[in-house]
A and B are shown apart, each in its own frame.
Chain A
Amino acid sequence: MSAQTTGHENQTHSLEIPNDPAHIATARLFASAIGRHFGADEEAVEDLRLGVSEAVTCAVQQGDPTKSIRIDVVPGADTLGVEVAWRDGSDVVANEHDDVPAGGGQSGAPVLAEGVPAMGLDLIRGLFEDARIGPRSDGMRAVGFSISLSERSG
């Protein structure tokens, strides 16, 4: 696991975690700490925490278990942009306790522990107007979204 922050405060803050559910909480802590640092109010921090948790959970379920998951938080003038990126697994990766493959839902959507189609990505789409979910040009898959600091900080 590694964290990286560039010299200038308004540059990207990055965290790499192993593809392991035990590290999802670390990603939430990382994102919420940066959100508070940049003045996000508690509701915005809660959205950030939930969005990162859902995105990293998706990455854990769909990603290559041998490859790390990267979380980038990019401060803007009045926004915080977030991107969670991962390498797809070559095989379907099942949650170790699931009856249903984690990556084997309808249309490839991740599946929750009880076999319920994942609400996670729908939650992200609902919470963040600019949610972006899909492949990147470098072959990684990513979930991205941003929170507005100015509106929320009032």
Chain B
Amino acid sequence: MELKIRKTAEIYVIDINGEMDLYNSYKLKDLVVKMLEKGMKSLIINLEQVDYIDSSGIGALIYICSMMKKMNLRLLIVNVRGSVKRVIELTKLTEYFPIADTIEDAIHTMAGV
């Protein structure tokens, strides 16, 4: 799994590429924790290039979502498709996670456009 960070205005985007599984999902949690320590306020997690997710990956998303909700920070998860979408549906957390269709939609939502 590869994580890339980019920034649009004050909104950070993490592009995830690869598989979010039991061996590497902790890396996403660790990265977000570090970004929060540096004062990040708005985050988009892009799952466009994720073709496999397991309970550890879902757990990482739950952890990040719960933490940012408690801190009253803004998070959107985008490009939830295919088997990733299906796994989230199986956990019945589709409405729990803040999901937007695309990065553009998420940026518009966060920018209040």
User: Does A associate with B in a complex?
Assistant: no
